[in-house]
Amino acid sequence: MENSAPKSSVIIMTGMHRSGTSLTASLLQKAGLQIGDRLMGSANGNVKGHFEDLDFVEFHQNVLQSQGISVAGWTEQQQIQVQAQYLASAQGLISDRAHLPIWGWKDPRTTLFLDFWLSLLPEAKYVFLYRSPWEVTDSLFRRGDVIFLNNPNFAVRQWCNYNQAILDFYQHHSEQCILIEISSVISNQNCLIDLIREKFGWELHSPESVYEPALFNANSDTYYRQALVTKFFPDAIDIYQQLQQCADIQPPILEAPPGIDLTCNSWILQDWIDLKQITKQKQQAEKQLAEINQQLETVKGELAQANQQVEAVRGEVAQANQQIEAVTRDRDRQIAELNDQSQQQLKKATTKFQQQLTQATTKFEQQIEELNNQSQQQLQIAQMEAQQLKLLIVAMESSKFWQLRRRWLDMRQKLNLSTMDTLYQNYLLSTQDSLAVSNVVAPAITVIDGIPVSDNPQYQKWLNKNYPKPAKLRKLKSLVTQLTYQPLISIIVPVYNAPESFLRQAIESVIEQVYENWELCLADDCSTNLNIRLILEEYALKDERIKVTFRAENGHICQTSNSALEIATGEYIALLDHDDLLPPHALATVVELLNQHPKADFIYSDEDKVDADNIHKDPFFKPDWCPDSFLARMYTCHLGVYRRSLVEEIGGFRVGFEGSQDYDLVLRITEKTENIYHIPDVLYHWRIHLQSTAADSNVKPYAEVAAQKAIAEALERRDEAAIVTPAKFPGVYTVRYKIRKTSLVSIIIPTKDLAEALEVCLKSIFSKTTYPDYEVIVIDNGSREAKTFKCFDYWQQQESDRFKVYKYDVPFNYSEINNYGVSKAEGDYLLFLNNDTEIITPDWIEGMVEQAQRKSIGAVGCLLLYPDNTIQHAGVVLGIGGVAGHSHKHLPLNQPGYISQAVSVNNYSAVTAACLMCRRSVFEEVGGFEAELAIAFNDVDFCLKIISHGYRNIYLPHVVLYHYESKSRGYENTPAKQARFAGEIKYMKQKWQKLCDRDPCYNPNLTKSYEDYSLNI
């Protein structure tokens, strides 16, 4: 090492930790010594501050850490050898302070570097502070350092090591050193100032006292601790006595008191530690007790004040009661007088009204007759026009052109000509044109005998194609009689003042079932319409399978359903409202499934609505069981079939959930079983009339409140902390989960040039994001433009702790780029984001972490919008266009979509990786993105791998971004790209054919040609 002669006077203060070096440094600072501009602040055990120059502290810590030594300096090496690489840093520290006339620093770690600093500052002076081993050990124990709690003896050994180093140095350089015990400084702080003046010839002024007795602990057991150290650590006592002998000011030497029996050092120091911890706990407990007593006194005062107010209110109430009695007497007198006057006026008014009513009735009857005549004429004209239009349609459909058109469409479909061009433009099909086609009013459809009638031509086509005709029903009836398993199904029907015609139709629809092993359990809830009782008794006499119970008092739908459940004996129950209908094949279809899956506990089907004229409409084609979709809305609805023993096990229907009793029932049942099956067929017709929920969900507003309560209680049972709020649309709810732990989120963004798009993306992240712990990792895939690198440089300066860029210059492969990005990420959560996106909702990361943290969830996706505020992505549906398409593409923002799918949290088989989050552990478990899928479908493949590992994927409508879609990559507009794209389609179909054919989060009765949830006909 090269010596560097100081240009100013230097004092180095050091000693074993807890020996009073901080007190001494504060004293010398006030006396005029410059000890640094950047000092370590206060902490546990140093409430006044450490008075340590952080530049020297960090230098010592870096050297210690490089040699595998604790940064606190806990080591049994007496001197640390400093590598050459740190020499320049040390010299820089000295040169930065060379302009100061008198300066220095304080750091206990300096004790381990005395020889090193002597080589650089040969003229420096040293102030060594020491303190007795029992006092230092006691102070360390009170501070609670873990290293000493686990190894008490190590505290004494550290004292020995530090002070032996001080002794060795002092003995060789005593003329440059002052050795003093802290007690001498405390008793007379000017003694140190005088000693520096005498020994070093430096003038320092005498400051005011800096010593506070409360900050130096000296308990009454000093002699007992001294005895411990004397008995078990004689080498410490030897060193201490040498320090006392060499000290520039001689303090008294304490002797161990006689009569103390000490036999073991392994437990006695541990007891010392335990005593310190108990003392600390006692102090905390006493503080808490004082606070509680203070709160108690406050509450007592408030209670006394409240009692006074209660007495005052009681007096006011008594006075008010007297006034009420007086007013009541006066009111009764006035009412009697008014009654007499009213009777006379009523007689006069009645006579006059009868005269006016007679005149008005005569005039009204004349007007009705005139309107009837006009209506008959208009009806005849409309019927003639309708007949002409029907003839025109028949002529069109009979023409050769129409027949050739049908053949041409069939040929296009077989040759796949209708989809490949669009696939080349965007592998998730755009439906801008297809939406227009699918919404064109179709020509009228001929109604077939035995098939329900619909006012929707598209649904009528579906009914004609799928509803069983009489011949098929006869065949089905014969088939079910041959099934091995024919369970009794109890149909539960709560009845209250049902429209008589609808009630009869409901009962008849059960009697007409082709499966005959059923019982109909009707419970009347004290209907005020006496005909209801007569109708029920009539049917009970006609068919012994029909059971009826009449409740003694009105109890609403839950108690009434339980009354029907009490008379049920079937292995399964099915729920039917008193005005709804079952198609004749409903129970037979259920029993067919039970023969395939006899352990089924809960079965639900698709449904439609039927009006007062038995016109069918609004088919509801549902996904298979999706637990998170179900938390957003009750979608299983009707027909619902449940194992009776399971329903009874959970206590049947719960009072207090009226209007959403089925929702609450399914939430509880699905917590008990995973044997849940969906039949994708319309097996229930929900009646629409003025008082029904089917017509308007606002008819029963209490149902919304009950549904929210049912969801909240389900989450509480499942130990998932969350808040449930109603969404903007009726019957839809949003569950927001509490984030259990705020962990690092790594946002991975592949890019290649397009600095403008990337700048929009990054600016929106850093300016809007409210989540506190995230990093942004940009993977540069061969950028060449200067403005791109300028963008990188800007954000590296603005967000140096959060923003990183890694170069990965290989031919574009989305999977490999993102996999590389993961290798550079440090977060527990991975968020894959396209460079052509823009954040809209500030809490976007919170929303995604809420779901990603759940053990059942794999990938989390969000709502992506085009710049015109139409939907670009709201989940991915498998099978559209052959592989996959985006749900509700081009639907305007804030439109609910099919069954409110676009505005509610839903499970999907896949979500786009334009914005996708998952836990790192899930990513690693499934093996990341498939490198063989360079461009298309890699996110779909990734999501399907996640599903195959038992997780669910989820879409969040409340996390919203703009997506300008594939700006970096462009379109599939070359033969090479198209060939590669065709290979990726083939890969997906070979690997995931079953899921592409039947997406469990979709319904086979919905189209795979468009993305608008229109019917598959």
d(CA 601, CA 647): 10
Indicate the residue among 400, 425, 450 that finishes a domain: 400
Whether pLDDT at 381 is above 60: no
The pLDDT value recorded for residue 772 is 96
Please spell the DSSP secondary structure of 632-651, one letter per residue. HS----SSEEEEHHHHHHTT
Q: Are 898 and 944 in contact (CB under 8 A)?
A: no
pLDDT digit string (tens) for 988-1012?
A: 889 999 999 999 999 999 999 888 8
pLDDT-based confidence at residue 943 (cuts at 50, 70, 90): very high
Answer yes or no: do 652 and 780 share one domain: no
Answer yes or no: do 752 and 711 share one domain: no
Answer yes or no: do 794 and 936 share one domain: yes
The pLDDT value recorded for residue 844 is 98
Average pLDDT over residues 418-430: 38
Answer yes or no: do 892 and 942 share one domain: yes
Return the number of other C-beta atoms located less than 10 Å from residue 99's C-beta: 9
Domain assignment present for residue 432? The answer is no
pLDDT digit string (tens) for 668-682?
A: 999 999 999 999 999
Whether pLDDT at 771 is above 60: yes
Higher pLDDT, 524 or 219: 524
Answer yes or no: do 680 and 746 share one domain: no
Closest CA to 571 of 599, 549, 546: 599
Q: Tokens 């020996």 belong to which residue?
A: 19
Residue 837 vs residues 815, 834, 864, 913, 969: alpha-carbon distances, Å:
19, 6, 9, 12, 14
Give Cα 137 distance to the centre of its chain. Answer: 48
Domain assignment present for residue 424? The answer is no
Average pLDDT over residues 810-834: 96
Q: Are 683 and 606 in contact (CB under 8 A)?
A: yes
Helix (H, G, I), strand (E, B) or coil at 736: strand
Higher pLDDT, 85 or 395: 85
Return the number of other C-beta atoms located less than 10 Å from residue 545's C-beta: 18
Phi and psi (nearest 5°) for 918? -155, 165
Q: Minimum mean pLDDT among 310-314, 446-450, 823-827: which range?
A: 446-450
Whether pLDDT at 386 is above 60: no
Domain assignment present for residue 478? The answer is no
d(CA 114, CA 80): 9
DSSP tag of 253: P
Answer yes or no: do 801 and 898 share one domain: yes
d(CA 598, CA 139): 72
Q: Are 888 and 902 in contact (CB under 8 A)?
A: yes
Residue 162, domain CATH: 3.40.50.300
Q: State both tokens at 424.
A: 């080349």
Indicate the residue among 672, 707, 733 that finishes a domain: 733
Going by their DSSP bridges, the two strands 745-751 and 829-833 should be labelled as parallel
pLDDT-based confidence at residue 366 (cuts at 50, 70, 90): low
Indicate the residue among 367, 400, 433 that finishes a domain: 400
The sign of the dihedral angle between the CA atoms of 817, 819, 824, 828 is positive
The pLDDT value recorded for residue 401 is 55
Answer yes or no: do 577 and 707 share one domain: yes
Higher pLDDT, 249 or 605: 605
The pLDDT value recorded for residue 665 is 98
Q: Are 620 and 944 in contact (CB under 8 A)?
A: no
Provide the percentage of residues in the chain whose pLDDT is more than 90.
Answer: 62
| Element at 11 (helix H, strand E) | strand 9-15
Closest CA to 907 of 682, 626, 709, 711: 626
Whether pLDDT at 801 is above 70: yes
Domain assignment present for residue 476? The answer is no
Q: Minimum mean pLDDT among 52-61, 396-405, 497-506: which range?
A: 396-405
Across the chain, mean pLDDT equals 85
The pLDDT value recorded for residue 225 is 65
Answer yes or no: do 365 and 510 share one domain: no
Residue 655, domain CATH: 3.90.550.10
Return the number of other C-beta atoms located less than 10 Å from residue 192's C-beta: 23
| Element at 458 (helix H, strand E) | helix 457-466
Residue 335 vs residues 338, 340, 342, 348: alpha-carbon distances, Å:
5, 9, 10, 20
Whether pLDDT at 281 is above 70: no
Give Cα 713 distance to the centre of its chain. Answer: 17
DSSP tag of 654: P
pLDDT digit string (tens) for 89-138?
A: 999 999 999 999 999 999 999 999 999 999 999 999 999 999 999 888 88
Euclidean distance between the first and final Cα of the chain, in Å? 89
Beta bridge mates, 130: 181
Return the number of other C-beta atoms located less than 10 Å from residue 215's C-beta: 12
Q: Are 959 and 768 in contact (CB under 8 A)?
A: no
Average pLDDT over residues 599-614: 96
Please spell the DSSP secondary structure of 889-935, one letter per residue. TTPBTT---GGG-TTS-EE-SB--TTEEEEEHHHHHHHTSS-TT-SS
The pLDDT value recorded for residue 929 is 97
Side-chain half-sphere of 111: how many Cα atoms within 13 Å? 31
Answer yes or no: do 573 and 713 share one domain: yes
Q: Minimum mean pLDDT among 226-230, 605-609, 748-752: which range?
A: 226-230
The pLDDT value recorded for residue 921 is 97
The pLDDT value recorded for residue 717 is 96
Beta bridge mates, 805: 778
> How many residues are given for the chain?
1017
Domain assignment present for residue 935? The answer is yes
Answer yes or no: do 560 and 668 share one domain: yes
Domain assignment present for residue 443? The answer is no
Q: Are 129 and 20 in contact (CB under 8 A)?
A: yes
- Angle at the Cα of 448 from the Cα atoms of 446 and 452, rounded to 5 degrees: 105
Answer yes or no: do 331 and 226 share one domain: no
Whether pLDDT at 642 is above 70: yes
Going by their DSSP bridges, the two strands 857-865 and 871-873 should be labelled as antiparallel
Whether pLDDT at 47 is above 80: no
Closest CA to 868 of 962, 1008, 972, 758: 962
Q: Which are the contacts of 703, defined by CB distance < 8 A and separation ≥ 6?
A: 658, 659, 660, 693, 697
Q: Minimum mean pLDDT among 150-164, 176-190, 410-424, 561-575: which range?
A: 410-424
User: Which range scores top for mean pLDDT: 245-249, 486-490, 897-901?
Assistant: 486-490
d(CA 576, CA 557): 12
d(CA 1003, CA 623): 5
The pLDDT value recorded for residue 450 is 87
Whether pLDDT at 424 is above 90: no
| Element at 276 (helix H, strand E) | helix 265-398
Domain assignment present for residue 1012? The answer is no
Average pLDDT over residues 30-41: 89
pLDDT-based confidence at residue 973 (cuts at 50, 70, 90): low
| Structural domain boundaries enclosing 799 | 740-997
Residue 558 region by backbone torsions, left for phi larger than 0, else alpha for psi between -120 and 50, else beta: alpha
DSSP tag of 85: G
Answer yes or no: do 173 and 107 share one domain: yes
d(CA 638, CA 575): 8
Q: Which are the contacts of 776, defined by CB distance < 8 A and separation ≥ 6?
A: 747, 749, 762, 765, 766, 795, 799, 802, 803, 804
pLDDT digit string (tens) for 250-271?
A: 875 545 444 444 444 444 455 5
The pLDDT value recorded for residue 380 is 47
Q: Which are the contacts of 989, defined by CB distance < 8 A and separation ≥ 6?
A: 882, 883, 996
pLDDT-based confidence at residue 306 (cuts at 50, 70, 90): confident
Helix (H, G, I), strand (E, B) or coil at 956: strand
Higher pLDDT, 211 or 750: 750
Whether pLDDT at 437 is above 50: no
pLDDT digit string (tens) for 652-665?
A: 999 999 999 999 99
Higher pLDDT, 400 or 123: 123
Whether pLDDT at 485 is above 50: yes
The pLDDT value recorded for residue 5 is 44
Q: Which are the contacts of 157, defined by CB distance < 8 A and separation ≥ 6?
A: 76
Structural domain count, the chain: 4
Q: Tokens 């002076």 belong to which residue?
A: 125
| Element at 158 (helix H, strand E) | helix 153-172
The pLDDT value recorded for residue 430 is 34
Whether pLDDT at 525 is above 50: yes
Q: Judge residue 979's burial from the number of C-beta atoms within 10 Å of its C-beta, 0-12 exposed, 13-18 middle, 19 or more buried.
A: exposed
Q: Minimum mean pLDDT among 321-330, 492-501, 786-795, 965-974: which range?
A: 965-974
Average pLDDT over residues 472-480: 95
Judge if the upstream peptide bond of residue 639 is cis by omega within 30 degrees of 0: yes
The pLDDT value recorded for residue 315 is 85
Domain assignment present for residue 936? The answer is yes
Q: Which are the contacts of 640, defined by CB distance < 8 A and separation ≥ 6?
A: 574, 575, 602, 603, 604, 662, 666
pLDDT digit string (tens) for 15-28?
A: 999 888 999 999 99
- Angle at the Cα of 391 from the Cα atoms of 386 and 393, rounded to 5 degrees: 95
